[in-house]
Structure 1
Amino acid sequence: MKLAFVLLALVAAVCAQKEPWCRCGAFITFDDDEAMVYEMPEVTIDSCENHKQCKNSCTKEMNKYSHYGDLWAMTPLNKTVGQSICETLSGLKHDFVHNHYVYGYYEVCGGPWEYTGIASQGMLCCDDGLQEHCIN
């Protein structure tokens, strides 16, 4: 009887597992901090071992959202990609950001964040939460 109960519990645990999933996010690196500045909706993938599918899906979605890393491209909310990021950073107490690239990352089934290989075309500069053109 105990064996049947253990087997039933094991089957229930396996059935309760979620579908394999993938997260996509854009990050800025500071000297002592990493800040997620944008997160895409979760993507379903074939398996938790399929990192390539996750990476490709994230790369495609981030390029679509940002027009291939253009921080001055307009979003559906009628503001630039960079302005949306500056507002997010301001909420994270990073009101002044100067000369930082934005990098794309992906996460498979709760594992570590991995670099997609994509970055913004130019650097991001924010002055009190407002996007500005960077001056080197």
Structure 2
Amino acid sequence: MKFCLLALTALVVVGSVSSQEPAWCRCALFVSSSTAEIMVYELPEVDITDCENHSQCKNRCTKEFNEMTNEMDLWSTVNGETVGQFICQNLYGNFVMFIHNSYVHAYYEVCGGPWEYAGLDSQQMLCCSLGQHEHCISR
């Protein structure tokens, strides 16, 4: 009986400690291929009030995506480089040498859960060759 009471007390303590952990929200850009989803850039984490509030995470990430990419425009210049160039350099630094004719998609993640689509796509397709952002040629 004492063991059951001790185990129950431990569960209550663990539950109350974990519920006090801060909530967090990740925002990232991905491209899709026939074999994989590739994270092309992770934006700064945004604050949310609790792990149940998916719409708050989505809205804050959407705001961050639009501000940092000028409404998902890969040819927009931010700090002297195009958004696409920044992504291509990031990919090249992670050993992804080529991306061709791929739209960039915005996703968010709430407190370590699955990545969820934020409903945003790049205005243009992304093409990278050895870390250089290039104009895509459709076939």
Amino acid corresponding to residue 132 of structure 1 in structure 2: E
Offset, 1:13: 5.9
Q: How far apart, CA to CA, are the structure 2 residues paired with 1:75 and 1:13? A: 44
More deviation in 117-126 or 42-51? 42-51
Match of 1:108 among 107, 110, 117: 110
Residues 1:99 and 2:105 are matched in the alignment: no
Change beyond 3 A, Cα 1:7–1:81 = same
Q: Which residue of 2 aligns with 1:132?
A: 134
* In 2: Cα distance, 1:31 partner to 1:8 partner: 47
Moved >6 Å (runs of 4+): none
Structure 2: runs of 5+ lacking an equivalent: none
Shift of residue 42, structure 1, vs aligned partner: 1.4
Q: Distance in 2 between matches of 1:4 and 1:33?
A: 47
- Which SS does the other structure have where 1:102 is aligned? strand
Question: Structure 1 residues 122, 7: CA separation in 2 closer, same or farther (over 3 Å shift)?
Answer: same
TM-score, normalised relative to structure 2: 0.85
Offset at 1:18? 2.1
CA distance in 1, matches of 2:46, 2:21: 12
Aligned to 2:27: 24
User: What amino acid is aligned across from residue 18 of structure 1 in structure 2?
Assistant: E
Q: Which moved more, 1:4-13 or 1:48-57?
A: 4-13
Taking structure 1 as the reference length, the TM-score comes to 0.87
RMSD value, Cα = 2.0
SS of the residue corresponding to residue 111 of structure 1 reads coil
**1:70-110 deviation line (CA, Å, top 9, x unaligned):** 1011223x211101111122233321211100000000111
